[in-house]
Each structure stands twice: as C-alpha cells, then as structure tokens.
Amino acid sequence: MSNPFQKTKMVPVPSHSIIPERDLGKAPILECQHLGIEFGGLKAVNDLNLTIGRTEIAGLIGPNGAGKTTVFNLLTKVYHPTHGTILLDGKDTSGKTTEQINKMGIARTFQNIRLFSNLSVEDNVKIGLHNQEVYSTLSGILRLPSYWKKEKEAHERALELLSIFDMQDMAGMKAGSLPYGAQRRLEIVRALATNPKLLLLDEPAAGMNPSETAELMENIVKIRDTFQIAVLLIEHDMNLVMNICEGICVLNFGEVIAKGTAEEIQGNPVVIEAYLGKKKEG
Amino acid sequence: MKKMFSNKKTLTNYITYAGVILLFVILQSMSAAGGLSSALKGQLVPVCAYVVMALSLNLTVGVLGELSLGHAGFMSVGAFAGAVAAAALKDVIPAGGLRLLVAMIVGALFAAIAGVIVGVPVLRLRGDYLAIVTLAFGEIIKSIVTNLYVGMDANGLHASFLNPTLHMEGGKIIINGPMGVSGIAKISSFLAGFLLIMVTLVIIFNLVNSRSGRAIMALRDNRIAAESVGINVTKYKLMAFVISAALAGAAGTLFAMGQNTVSASKFDFNTSILVLVFVVLGGLGRMWGSIIAAAALTVLPELLREFSEYRMLIYAIVLILVMLATNNPTFKNFFSKIFKRKGVKNHE
C-alpha cells in the first residue's frame, strides 16, 4: 500500500446514513437514533442520528461549543440522554453505567488529559487491562499462582500495547512526568487495553506539532487495521480529519448540519458558514 | 528503566519489612536484658497497635484518597468485640496466644461489618461525605459502647442497653457500661504486636501491587478515567475502606488486650485525629513513614514525662517542626540540595 490513508467508498445504508463499503455486510457498531440531551432549557445535543460502520474511522467536527464532547459523554453515559436511543453492536445501552459501557465495548480518551498521573506508565496500561487480566483480590494478597501468571501476562500485554506508539522504554516513568504528546498517546494505549470495539478519541492531536500529528494519523489507521475496530474522533486539525476520516459528521449548536465524505464536507456551504460566518452581501 | 523502577518499589517494601524486624529484635533483646524502663516496656504494645492503626488509615487516606475522621471508632469496635470474645473463650481456649488470635479475628470481623455499614451508603457519594459520616460514626460508637452492658453466665452471652442487671443467673459482667472492660487478662505481647504489624504490611503491600490495588489508586488519581476503563467505583472504594476498618479492629483488640481496663472514652475524636496526624506526618501512601511517625509520637509524650508541665507544649512544637520539615517546599529544597551534593561527591 503506497497510501496508508486509503479509504473505501462510502455507501448509503437503509437509513440516510453512510458507512464504508467494506462494512456493508456487517451490522454497524454504533447507531444513535434521535439522540438528545437538555440541560434545563438548553438543548446541548438535539436529534442526532449517527451510524458508524464496524471498521470505519469517523470524524465529529464543529465549531467550539457545538456539543461534540457532550456526544462522547452521552455515548459513554457520563450524561444520560433525555431523548433517543444508542445501540451499541445492536444492543440498547439505556440505563447502563460508564463502567458497563466500557465492558460492552466503548473506550475513550479525554480532551483534558485524564491519566493516573501518580502511577507509572505501565500501571496506567495495566489499569486499562483491569477486565482483561482478571484474578481475585485474595489471590493478589496471598500471591497465589494465578497472581503471578496474570501479572506476567499483564506485563507482557502492556509492553506490547505500548510498542504501538514506540513507548515501551517509558514504561517505568511516572505518567504525569511524560511530555504532553506522549500523555495523549498513553491515553489511547490505555483505552485500547480495555479491548474496545469502538474507540472514541477526543482531540487526539491537540497540542501536537505537525510531524507528531502525521505520525498519529498513521497510528490511528494502523490501530484500526490491526484491531479491526471502529474509531470516532473529535478533532480541530482539518488536515487530520480530511485525510483519515471516512465519514464525517458536522455539529453546530447541538444539531447535525452536514454528514458525508471529506470531499462532500469540504465543499458544503453550510459547513463553511458555520465555521467562518456568513458572507457579507455586496 | 522499567526494571529499576519496579525494583525500587519492591526494594522500599523489603527495607520496610527488614526495618520492622530489626527494630523488633533490638527492642525485644533490650527488654530481655532489662535495658528498657518499665514505662517504655508498657508502651511496646500500644505502639504496635498505633502503628497498625496508622498503616490501616494510610490505606484509606493515602491509597484510596478518602478522608476518614473516625478511625478510632473501628478501633473501638475491634477492642470491645475482641475483649468480649477473649473473656468468653477463656475456658475454651486456655492458651493466651491462640485466644488473642481468635479475639483479633473476631474484632477485625466486627470492625469490617461496621465498615460495610458506614461505607455502603457513603462511598457511593462524591466529595467529602465520608469525612463527615466517619466523624459522626466515631461519636456514635462511643455512645453505644458507653451504654452497652455485656455479661456471660452458664446460658451464654447476654447484652443490653442501659440495663446493668442483664437478667443473668450469676455469671460475670464483661462490658460494664461507662466503666468499660476491666480486669482484662493481659494476653497481648510485643511479639503479637510485631506479628500483627508484619501481617498488616504484607496485606497492604500485596494489595497495592495487585490488580485491585491499582484499581483503588486509579480511583484516587482520576475517578472519571477509572470509570471509563471499566472499574467498578463502589466495589473498590468499599474494598479498601473495609480492609482498612478490619485492620483497625485487629489493632483495637491488640490494644485492649494489653491494658488493665479499657473504656469507650479512650477511642474518641482525639484518637482519630492523632492517628491521622501519624499518617500525614509520615507521608500519604508512604507506609514506612506511618510506622516511624506512629512509633515516635506514641513514645514521645512518655519520654517527655519529666518535663510534665511543658510536655504538651514541646509535643506541639515537635509536631509543627516535623510538619515543616516534611512538607514545606523551602525546607524540602534545602534538604534535597544537601543530598544531591552528597550524591555527586559519591560519584566522584
């Protein structure tokens, strides 16, 4: 493959959404139907319909305050939606907690980095492996054989996951002492450790320089290809969004104003208006 | 890099184990050789009890990151439950050591139950509610035990509130309301205290370095992120809190079984704050710090007895100085500079 960001054609599914052609035969990983939340009288998100294919890299963009992070918080049940349903892998997620949502297969990163900053990089990833490498508290305290076996596995898995971003040498460092870009990458590794089907990335390239961003783009595609998962990302770096996102959804004031491929979004006058404002007459 | 770090952490743990063993051997041989004054000898068991209290509170405050202001309440539950168990089992288990062990387990169990009762409703909330509720819990336990009468006759145990007669046929009273428990057969020994400290250290160190311990520390560092990676918040908060309460209960039994009499007023708010002072002085999450702080500050008032008039004054000044030395950035920088220079010299 000469171009690492090769995309497949987007095709309409029975609803008015589009998904990549290669995901056609499979049920979509995520379906939001008329999703909405009101805080008092404010409709932070209103009537959001979103379908994400099983191995799609999708983008959620929009001006500041459009409600993008609120959508992530709805998907992970930090907020409970007041309207609509979220189907994850065909299963209704209403009434679930954040913790259960993670077990069902959504992992996320945060816009303002939320690492376990007093713990080592390796421990951060091992915490991500919490529900993957399971042994009881008692066998942990008594150091029974299952403790040694699972800890060894967790150690190896953690280093393997860190090697995606070439971070295995940082395993012993305190997470809070890492440079900014590395902290963002560690958040992605920690999210991946929970073995998700859908990865939500909240501004993964924020604060990164152009070469770091380029590397991140390659890595997001690599993660999708290796783990065969879907990725939904919020990003202000249009270069990243237009290059790797297959389907893009544009939000403004909590409402979807456009959906489509990168080419369609770039030429859409409504999107341009939302970002830059209306052209003055005359 | 990775190897170094994990070695450093386990190294600190092993040094802590070794330090405790060394101290025990030194003090034990000194007391056998008659090198300890009788006042200090009498302090050995309480010191062990307070060390375990500090370690267990450090699990709640330092590792879980929740503030508990009623840790003496759990000590009280353990002390009286253990005292009743020891008195009731006097004829069944004549051997003092084994009876103490059983009493400690009973004490720990009751304290753990109290921990569940306090923890289940409160740990679901966010913020400083635990501090408020544990503060109240300590006072409630004090009131309950002050009004509690427990006795034993041929028919078994009897308990009642505000009724000293207990409807017993002969028998003897164990907990006598405000007077507490008196005439205790002293079955606690320095050896038992030392063993309890070692068990406590093993439990805490092994917990912290396991899957559950990492989940607990993840909650402390960032609850939202911990939830997002699938950690059950209530379960792990409760686990840390209940283990902490159970260890405090065992410490309470150890303490009570080393005294002639114990009454509920011994385990009041001041005791809770004293234990919190040990933890803060020793450093949050730093177990060896808690051990040293608890041991030193329990013995210090005893050593200052000669200056009885100025005793509390000196005690206060020492507290302030230690607090400054361990937590003030100016002091810290000063010390770290000294140590750095030393380090450079050693390299050359």
Tens-place pLDDT, residues B229-288: 999 999 999 999 999 999 999 999 999 999 999 999 999 998 999 999 899 888 888 999
Q: Quick one: closest CA in A to B4, which residue?
A: A172
Note the pLDDT of residue A282: 52
Most confident of A176-190, B291-305, B327-341: A176-190
Tokens encoding B136: 């109240």
Residues of B in contact with A134 (CB under 8 A): 211
Query: B249 CA to chain A: closest CA distance, Å?
Result: 19
Q: How confident is the model at residue B333 (pLDDT cuts 50, 70, 90)?
A: confident
Q: Is A84 left (phi over 0), alpha (psi -120 to 50) or beta?
A: left
Residues of A in contact with B222 (CB under 8 A): 114-117
Candidates B2, B3, B228; nearest CB to A102: B228
Report yes or no: A251 and A71 within 8 Å, Cβ to Cβ: yes
Candidates B202, B210, B229; nearest CB to A102: B229
Answer yes or no: do B2 and A172 touch at CB < 8 A: yes
Answer yes or no: do B214 and A118 touch at CB < 8 A: no
Most confident of A270-279, B152-161, B227-236, B314-323: B227-236
User: Mean pLDDT in chain A?
Assistant: 90
User: A1 pLDDT exceeds 70?
Assistant: no
User: B64 pLDDT exceeds 70?
Assistant: yes
Query: A182 CA to chain B: closest CA distance, Å?
Result: 17
Report yes or no: A244 and A5 within 8 Å, Cβ to Cβ: yes
Q: For chain A, what percent of residues have pLDDT higher than 90? A: 73
Q: For chain B, what percent of residues have pLDDT higher than 90? A: 54
Note the pLDDT of residue B334: 74
- The alpha helices in chain A, defined as continuous H runs, are 68-75, 98-104, 121-128, 137-141, 145-162, 180-193, 210-227, 238-244, 262-266, 269-276
Residues of A in contact with B215 (CB under 8 A): 127, 130
Q: For chain A, what percent of residues have pLDDT higher than 70? A: 96
**Helix orientation angle between B287-303 and B269-282, rounded to the nearest 10 degrees:** 120
Answer yes or no: do A147 and B3 touch at CB < 8 A: no
Alpha-carbon span A66 to A48, nearest angstrom: 12
Note the pLDDT of residue B281: 85
Q: Within an 8 Å CB–CB cutoff, is residue B257 touching chain A?
A: no
SS3 at position A89: coil
Residues of A in contact with B226 (CB under 8 A): 116, 127
Q: Within an 8 Å CB–CB cutoff, is residue B67 touching chain A?
A: no
Parallel, antiparallel, or unpaired for β A42-52 and A30-39? antiparallel
Answer yes or no: do B214 and A130 touch at CB < 8 A: yes
User: A260 pLDDT exceeds 50?
Assistant: yes
The DSSP H or E segment spanning A92 is: strand A91-92
Note the pLDDT of residue B102: 95
Query: A206 CA to chain B: closest CA distance, Å?
Result: 19
pLDDT, average across residues A209-227: 93
Write down the domain spans for chain A. 10-105+196-276, 120-186
Note the pLDDT of residue A11: 82
Tens of pLDDT, residue by residue over B97-129, are: 999 999 999 999 999 999 999 999 988 887 778
User: A180 pLDDT exceeds 60?
Assistant: yes
Residue with the two structure tokens 């065909």: A90
pLDDT, average across residues A76-83: 94
Q: Within an 8 Å CB–CB cutoff, is residue B231 touching chain A?
A: yes
Alpha-carbon span B253 to B257, nearest angstrom: 6
User: Of B334, B331, B88, B62, which is closest to residue B213 (Cα–Cα)?
Assistant: B62
Least confident of A11-15, B45-49, B291-295: A11-15
Q: How confident is the model at residue A20 (pLDDT cuts 50, 70, 90)?
A: confident
Neighbour count for residue A195 (Cβ, 10 Å): 18
Residues of B in contact with A172 (CB under 8 A): 1-6
Q: Within an 8 Å CB–CB cutoff, is residue B213 touching chain A?
A: yes
State the count of interchain CB pairs (< 8 A) between A and B: 109
Residue B101's identity, in one-letter code, is L
Residues of A in contact with B206 (CB under 8 A): 140-143
> Mutation test of the interface with chain A: which of B201, B228, B286, choosing the one with the most A Cβ atoms within 10 A?
B228
Residues of B in contact with A135 (CB under 8 A): 210-211
Report yes or no: A57 and A230 within 8 Å, Cβ to Cβ: yes
**Between A138 and B325, the higher pLDDT residue:** A138
Answer yes or no: do A108 and B228 touch at CB < 8 A: yes
User: B208 pLDDT exceeds 70?
Assistant: yes
pLDDT, average across residues B155-162: 82
Alpha-carbon span B118 to B113, nearest angstrom: 9
Residues 188-207 of B with CB under 8 A from A: 202-203, 206-207
Q: How confident is the model at residue B4 (pLDDT cuts 50, 70, 90)?
A: very low
pLDDT, average across residues A87-102: 93
Residue with the two structure tokens 């409807």: B167
Note the pLDDT of residue A122: 95
Answer yes or no: do A78 and B3 touch at CB < 8 A: no
SS3 at position B162: coil
Which residues in B191-214 are b (16+ Cβ under 10 Å) and which e? ebbbbbbeebbebbbbbbbbbbbb
Tokens encoding B7: 């070695």
Candidates A99, A120, A135; nearest CB to B211: A135
User: Mean pLDDT in chain B?
Assistant: 87
Residues of A in contact with B4 (CB under 8 A): 172
User: B164 pLDDT exceeds 50?
Assistant: yes
Domains in chain B with CATH codes: 44-287 (1.10.3470)
Note the pLDDT of residue B3: 45
Give A95's DSSP letter: T
Q: Is A90 left (phi over 0), alpha (psi -120 to 50) or beta?
A: left
pLDDT, average across residues B196-210: 96
Q: How confident is the model at residue A12 (pLDDT cuts 50, 70, 90)?
A: confident
Alpha-carbon span A219 to A47, nearest angstrom: 33
Give B245's DSSP letter: H
pLDDT, average across residues A138-151: 94
Neighbour count for residue A3 (Cβ, 10 Å): 7
> Mutation test of the interface with chain B: which of A97, A98, A190, choosing the one with the most B Cβ atoms within 10 A?
A98
Parallel, antiparallel, or unpaired for β A230-234 and A247-252? unpaired
pLDDT, average across residues A72-77: 95
Answer yes or no: do A103 and B3 touch at CB < 8 A: no
Strand locations in chain B, DSSP E?
148-153, 156-161, 172-176
Candidates A98, A131, A172; nearest CB to B228: A98
Alpha-carbon span B242 to B228, nearest angstrom: 24
Note the pLDDT of residue B232: 94
How far from B140 is each of A210, B137, B144, B256, CA to CA, in Å?
Answer: 62, 5, 6, 19
pTM, full prediction = 0.89
User: B343 pLDDT exceeds 70?
Assistant: no
Q: Within an 8 Å CB–CB cutoff, is residue B1 touching chain A?
A: yes
Residue with the two structure tokens 């992992």: A107
Which residues are CB-contacts of A129 (< 8 A; sequence separation ≥ 6)? Answer: A154, A157, A158, A193, A194
Report yes or no: B197 and B52 within 8 Å, Cβ to Cβ: yes
> Mutation test of the interface with chain A: which of B64, B126, B210, B224, choosing the one with the most A Cβ atoms within 10 A?
B210
Q: Is CATH 3.40.50.11270 correct for A10-105+196-276?
A: no
Note the pLDDT of residue B152: 86
